[in-house]
Amino acid sequence: MDLKPTKPLSGFIELLPAGQRCFDFCAARMLDVLRRAGFSMLDLPAIERAEVLTDKDNWDEIENQMFLFQKGDTKMGLRYDGTVGLSRYVAGHLNDLVFPFRASQFSKRYRGERAQRGRYREFYQMDMDIMGINSLSTNYDAEIISVIGAALDSVAEFIGPNEALIGSRPFWDALFDYLELSADQKREVFILIDKKEKMGDADFAEGLSDTLGDSEKENLIKLVFSDGYKQFVNKSEKLDAAIDELTRFMSLLNDMGVKNAKIDLSVTRGLAYYTGLVFEFKLINHPELGTAAGGGRYADLAGKFSKTKIIGVGAAIGFSRIFASMLENNQIDLSRFSNPVDVAVLVMGDNNVAYASRVVKTLRDSGIVAVSYLDTDKKFKNQIEYANKIGARFSMIIGDDEVAKNVVALKNMESGNQETLSVADAIKKVK
């Protein structure tokens, strides 16, 4: 019989144990930041009805990008983000939740596109959202940004410093109005802006020219990328309102202690959901990772599910994008995650298993990571080699003598020193 493949499907991640420990350690640290900020962790289904995942009119377009399947009469598929399930959940539990409601999620999402280099088809994102009924101060937008910053800061020893880039959807709306673009032109130009970083300056300029055919307008739009909003002060009421909102917000961020934020109007966050300020985080030492986190404000989060108007501000951290990439590329020093075992308990002979098991239980109950080697017929040489290979800090040798005297032989695997001790003294030594 042919052997089956042992590699996972392309676009799917699996880590070796030390990398996984690092991944889990960073997730736990970041989730603890969210917990202290009062976010309630939600764990929603990975499978949703197709009608929840997409509106019927873009079904064909989106079908290629998702994992979809049918059971009986029901079309369903794997979620591609955390927002779609959250909207459904919140709309279904308006009376069970207290608003403003703070929700966090840390879960796998799926994209069904053909796998490309560096694109995952299964990946973790860490979401946080604050939702209010009918109103929600923009102070919460600043709060979300400060919490993301704190979460990324909590693992800075691994990923380095981060910065927040703040964009404004209303600014572009106002500018397009000021330039008197048609509805079609607005849409086309917005798509170009969203793709600018990927397409490069030359293609962007060509795209603008194809769409607008008006070098004055094209130059004004390009000016935003070199010069920001400065040239557009006092041009129209709508522009001034958008600029005012943005500058007030930067000052609020500063007041809230967010020191690493700057305006970047090229940040638009695509076409979906967002209606107000938008933001992205980048890792300063890891430009190759692109956007580390992104989010913004949506005026009507759950309009498809409820007549109640839910205003939200939320963001997703690209957790796999950051950590799986860095781990796969050996960009994180794993030495502190390589040796999780405190004590390897080596048992010489089956008749000593009972005694050894009681010792192991005592060790584990005192919080020590203790692994027992239970192939008791193996020679001492093989057993100590096992202790070495798993990187145990200590080995504890239990043979007939130790059992007779109610002691253990504790060997420091680094120094090689060995002592005969009571179990209680051995525990003190290990700790």
Question: Residues 30, 83, 127, 143: which binds a copy of itself (CB under 8 A)?
Answer: 143
When the beta carbons of 196 and 297 are compared against a copy of itself, the nearer one is 297
When the beta carbons of 93 and 203 are compared against a copy of itself, the nearer one is 93
When the beta carbons of 64 and 219 are compared against a copy of itself, the nearer one is 64
When the beta carbons of 100 and 294 are compared against a copy of itself, the nearer one is 100
270 interacts with a copy of itself by CB under 8 A: no
91 interacts with a copy of itself by CB under 8 A: yes
Nearest distance in Å: CB 324, a copy of itself = 10
When the beta carbons of 110 and 190 are compared against a copy of itself, the nearer one is 110
119 interacts with a copy of itself by CB under 8 A: no
When the beta carbons of 191 and 390 are compared against a copy of itself, the nearer one is 390
33 interacts with a copy of itself by CB under 8 A: yes
8 interacts with a copy of itself by CB under 8 A: yes
3-state secondary structure the chain: CCCCCCCCCCCCCCCCHHHHHHHHHHHHHHHHHHHHCCCEEECCCCEEEHHHHCCHHHHHHHHCCCCEEEECCEEEEECCCCHHHHHHHHHHCCCCCCCCEEEEEEEEEECCCCCCCCCCCEEEEEEEEEEEECCCCCHHHHHHHHHHHHHHHCCHHHHCCEEEEEEEHHHHHHHHHHCCCCHHHHHHHHHHHHHHHHHCHHHHHHHHHHHHCCHHHHHHHHHHHHHCCHHHCCCCHHHHHHHHHHHHHHHHHHHCCCCCEEECCCCCCCCCCCCCEEEEEEECCCHHHCEEEEEEEECCCCCCCCCCCEEEEEEEECHHHHHHHHHHCCCCCCHHHHCCCCEEEEECCHHHHHHHHHHHHHHHHCCCCEEEECCCCCCHHHHHHHHHHCCCCEEEEECHHHHHHCCEEEEECCCCCEEEECHHHHHHHHC
108 interacts with a copy of itself by CB under 8 A: yes
# residues near a copy of itself by CB under 8 A? 98
128 interacts with a copy of itself by CB under 8 A: no
Q: Give the range of 12-20, 238-246, 276-284, 293-301 binding a copy of itself by CB under 8 A.
A: 12-20
345-384 mask for a copy of itself (x: CB under 8 A)? -----x--xx--xx--x--x--xxxxxxxxxxx-------
